[in-house]
Structure 1
Amino acid sequence: MNNQELQMLVESISINDFKKPFRHKAFFNARLRTTGGRYMLRSHDIEINRKYFEQFGEAELIGIIKHELCHYHLHLEGKGYRHRDSDFRQLLKQVDAPRFCSTLPDTKKRRVSNRVYIYNCSACGLVYKRKRAINTARYVCGKCRGKLVKIKELTVG
């Protein structure tokens, strides 16, 4: 499926399920990683993750399009278009759209680091324990603005 076919599919779903026209652009965005689609508030365009269509098929794609069209139509009408709004949840049920899309099986989970970095302020002696390293040339103590010195790096667990 290409962008032109996607555009036609979105327009037909909008007319059939929402009884309202879709007057903006719908296209595939290869940079989307963790989401099935995205509605752009400023341009009113809809971006779709092509991987969902390739891995789950047209049924999942239609569900994602319906979900994004709920955002689209509610936003243009000035109603609650966010996930937590009752207008949004009501419209999702009305058009039988999923609240969340399926998770992609090939997505790599972020590796959890088991390191702890310990820093000491040379001026006031305050000890910082951090999961992420600090650039000591750039950052200073939050209490006294003294110079931070890396004491040690521990591997936990």
Structure 2
Amino acid sequence: MALGFGYSITPVYQPTLFIGYLSENFGGSENSVVTISFKNRFHFTKQPILKYFKPYAGISINWGNTKNTFDKLPEYYPEKYYFQNKIHIAPFIGGELKRHMNLGYFDAIGIYSEVSAFDAYLLEAIRTKYVKPHMALSLAVGISLYLK
């Protein structure tokens, strides 16, 4: 689960800051995870397609904190044995259906979906036969509320 705040700097560029939390009881995780993500979204068009749809792509920088993440390789591993796993870059592509409405404090509501992949997973999908390309992909679905 994540919550974020963004701002449309131009008609095509929208940076967003997200804070996410994954508990040990959700999604089969063995650890709780706190994530901070700075997402840079670039729309392909200034105006929506068919009045409501805006396709986009971008890249996010993600910082995760849990008991098994590290930014420097622990001493008991040989040098260059693993990449650090605390910060990741994730390219993504998706689209949003956005409907303008007058809902109190909100000007519009959007439903979005996107496919992304972490840098380390993409690299392993390219380098090894163990990680298949589809295993490196993630799907996100969410709701955006636009303030007046």
Bin of the TM-score, shorter chain as denominator length: under 0.3
Q: Name the one with the larger helix percent.
A: 1
Normalization by structure 1: what TM-score?
0.21
Larger Rg: 1
Normalization by structure 2: what TM-score?
0.22
